[in-house]
Amino acid sequence: MHHVVGPASTPGVHAPLDDAPAASFIGAIRDSLPELRLLTDEVDRESHRRDETAYLETGLPLAVALPTTTEEVATLVRLCAAHGVPIVPRGAGTGLSGGAAGIEGALTIAFTRMDRILEIDRANLTVTTQPGIVNAALKARVAEEGLFYAPDPASYEMCTIGGNLGTNAGGLCCVKYGVTRDAVLGLEVVLADGTVLRLGGKNVKDVAGYGLIPLLVGSQGTLALVTEATLRLRPAPPPRATLIAFFATLEAAGEAVAGITAAGVQPVTLELMDQVTIQAVDDARGLGLDRDAAAMLLVESDLPGDAGADELARVIPICEAAGATLVIQAEDAQEADWLRAGRRFAFRALEAKGIARMEDVGVPRSRIPEMLREIEAIAARHAIVVGTFGHAGDGNLHPTFVLDRDDADGEHRLHEAQRDLFEAAISMGGTVTGEHGIGVARKAWLVRQRGEDAVRVMRSIKAALDPQGLLNPGKVL
Ligand SMILES: Cc1cc2nc3c(=O)[nH]c(=O)nc-3n(C[C@H](O)[C@H](O)[C@H](O)COP(=O)(O)OP(=O)(O)OC[C@H]3O[C@@H](n4cnc5c(N)ncnc54)[C@H](O)[C@@H]3O)c2cc1C
């Protein structure tokens, strides 16, 4: 099934401007912001048409603006409001739900040139940054000060902090340190009418009025544009102790995850890969993984000194009781880095095998074994190869359906498998998206999961903050 991103699919959204008003809009931007980098060539606009959801039908942006300051963003938003032009905020375009996908005739505002760190405050353990900085670059910069920014999506070397705020991104160490939202203390945002609003700051506790920060984080650019963020840091943790455990069945690995959670052990990483993923990663990276195993867990501790080894020592008997066939501790930091990088590479490794469509379901952690069983059954029922990996410690799995490139009937089976997967997640009290977002790709499922009343509340918030419907229309709602 194809979802169309654009005014055609979005009731109440303005149709793209005709040539003359479009030219007048572009002219107004150039007059107001002569220094702004504004891309209007078709090739440049095409390159901002998609995010990582290549299967979605997208629209061609009218232009792409690359601002460097909040004032430029506010001016752009005011011009869009005056000319009735929708806005698509964009980071690095690594999103997996179509949040940054182009809308026909819209202005895409790409934040990649707003990539300056404004302050590292050691006394308050915060970093204040523009949104366009790449996650790994921010991590590396604060590490120079002996500090640690926790949220680490597997895409951290590509994705931006603004995109992470847009999606409320998760990652490999969220199981211990929480998701992006948990790291945000302050935001500067531009509202749909061009108002610049500063929220929060450096207070760790602050309950004055409604919580607007948690509302905006994860809203996928539909409520406001983030132009600055103050994020919580921690002292850099010591090097990690790392182990991998292999299992003869996927369910056994799921039992181990549930057991680790129930025992109250809190590793910094608790990631899973199934056999299809193990083999794909091993083909790509030659890590010498056990290719016959049905599943593998990657477990890490960042507790200091012996406490790290002790934490892993609590994990080993739980894995063995669940039926682990082999448990190996990483020899050194280099080996641990290779294993972690291998897990981060899972999606790219599966993409090498065919057309790969990554899903993002979440369930309460005690139900991981059941969900894993269900995923295998769904894949078998629809005759689709599935590689499942993910942040098992968070109950968040990425079943990735892999189709042969010449599979004529593949899209149809894939759609049915996705439907069964989402129904299974919802029936277990889970979610159709743990961290990638509803975007466009899962829009049809929002009411099914949240219910009419909750979505009505969401629509009224959207209408209050964006009455003209110009901020990323057709996404999420
Ligand atoms: C190989 C791979 C692995 C991945 N692993 C993970 C993972 O482990 N965890 C995870 O959560 N995600 C993961 N992702 C998905 C993706 O990387 C994240 O969703 C990431 O947060 C997107 O960042 P981006 O800079 O690419 O944003 P984009 O894709 O450009 O945008 C994402 C959303 O944020 C909005 N947005 C961007 N900037 C702003 C802004 N300044 N203000 C307001 N809204 C804005 C956009 O409109 C869009 O809705 C992975 C993707 C890939 C390809």
* pLDDT tens per residue, range 349-401: 999 999 999 999 999 999 999 999 999 999 999 999 999 999 999 999 999 99
Q: Whose CA is nearest to atom 50 of ligand 1?
A: 155
221 within ligand 1 shell (Cβ under 6 A): yes
For 14-23, 126-135, 195-204, 380-389, which range has the lowest pLDDT when averaged over its residues? 14-23
61 within ligand 1 shell (Cβ under 6 A): no
240 within ligand 1 shell (Cβ under 6 A): no
Q: Which amino acid is at 39?
A: L
Q: Which of 69, 159, 231 to mutate to test the pocket of ligand 1 (most atoms within 8 A of CB)?
A: 159
Task: Give the number of the atom of ligand 1 that is nearest the alpha carbon of residue 224.
Answer: 43
- Give the DSSP letter of residue 35: T
- Which of 96, 233, 237, 66 lies closest to 164, judged by CA? 96
Ligand 1 centroid to Cα of residue 169, in Å, is 7
Task: Give the number of the atom of ligand 1 that is nearest the alpha carbon of residue 89.
Answer: 47
Burial (CB count within 10 angstroms: exposed 0-12, middle 13-18, buried 19+), residue 210: exposed
CB crowding 399-429: b at 16 or more within 10 Å, else e: bbbbbeeebeebeebbeebbebbbebbbebe
Helix, strand, or coil (residue 64): strand
Q: Which of 64, 66, 90 to mutate to test the pocket of ligand 1 (most atoms within 8 A of CB)?
A: 90
Question: 452-471, pLDDT tens digit by residue?
Answer: 999 999 999 999 999 999 99
Task: Give the number of the atom of ligand 1 that is nearest the alpha carbon of residue 346.
Answer: 1
For 134-143, 157-166, 275-284, 407-416, which range has the lowest pLDDT when averaged over its residues? 407-416
Question: 300-333, pLDDT tens digit by residue?
Answer: 999 999 999 999 999 999 999 999 999 999 989 9
Flag whether pLDDT at 5 surpasses 60. no
Question: 266-293, pLDDT tens digit by residue?
Answer: 999 999 999 999 999 999 999 999 999 9
Percent of all residues in the chain with a pLDDT value above 90, rounded to a whole number: 95
- Which of 24, 11, 112, 34 lies closest to 62, judged by CA? 24
Look up residue 52 and give its two tokens. 């990582």
From CA 222, how far away is CA 432, in angstroms rounded?
19
Predicted local confidence at residue 13, as pLDDT: 59
111 within ligand 1 shell (Cβ under 6 A): yes
Flag whether pLDDT at 7 surpasses 50. no
Q: CB neighbours (10 Å) of residue 455?
A: 16
Q: Which of 155, 228, 272 to mutate to test the pocket of ligand 1 (most atoms within 8 A of CB)?
A: 155
Predicted local confidence at residue 15, as pLDDT: 85
443 within ligand 1 shell (Cβ under 6 A): no
- pTM comes to 0.96
Task: Give the number of the atom of ligand 1 that is nearest the alpha carbon of residue 437.
Answer: 19
Q: Which residues contact 151 (CB under 8 A, 6 or more apart)?
A: 135, 164, 169, 170, 171, 173, 174, 177, 178, 179, 180, 183
Phi, psi of 311 (to 5 degrees): -65, -45
Task: Give the number of the atom of ligand 1 that is nearest the alpha carbon of residue 216.
Answer: 43
169 within ligand 1 shell (Cβ under 6 A): yes
300 within ligand 1 shell (Cβ under 6 A): no
Ligand 1 centroid to Cα of residue 325, in Å, is 36
Predicted local confidence at residue 153, as pLDDT: 97
170 within ligand 1 shell (Cβ under 6 A): yes
Ligand 1 centroid to Cα of residue 222, in Å, is 14
246 within ligand 1 shell (Cβ under 6 A): no
Q: Which residue has the tokens 């979005």?
A: 10
Dihedral sign, Cα of residue 285, residue 289, residue 293, residue 299: negative
pLDDT band at 422 (very low <50, low <70, confident <90, very high): very high
Helix, strand, or coil (residue 183): helix
From CA 355, how far away is CA 69, in angstroms rounded?
39
CB distance 5 to 439 below 8 Å: no
Question: 217-254, pLDDT tens digit by residue?
Answer: 999 999 999 999 999 999 999 999 999 999 999 999 99
Interval 126-139 mean pLDDT: 98
CB distance 171 to 151 below 8 Å: yes
Q: CB neighbours (10 Å) of residue 193?
A: 14
Task: Give the number of the atom of ligand 1 that is nearest the alpha carbon of residue 152.
Answer: 8
Q: Which amino acid is at 422?
A: F
Q: Which residue has the tokens 């892993």?
A: 312
From CA 330, how far away is CA 338, in angstroms rounded?
10
- Give the DSSP letter of residue 37: E
Per residue, the 3-state secondary structure of 11-47, as one string, reads: CCCCCCCCHHHHHHHHHHHHHHCCCCEEECCHHHHHC
Task: Give the number of the atom of ligand 1 that is nearest the alpha carbon of residue 391.
Answer: 8
Q: Which residue has the tokens 């964006």?
A: 466
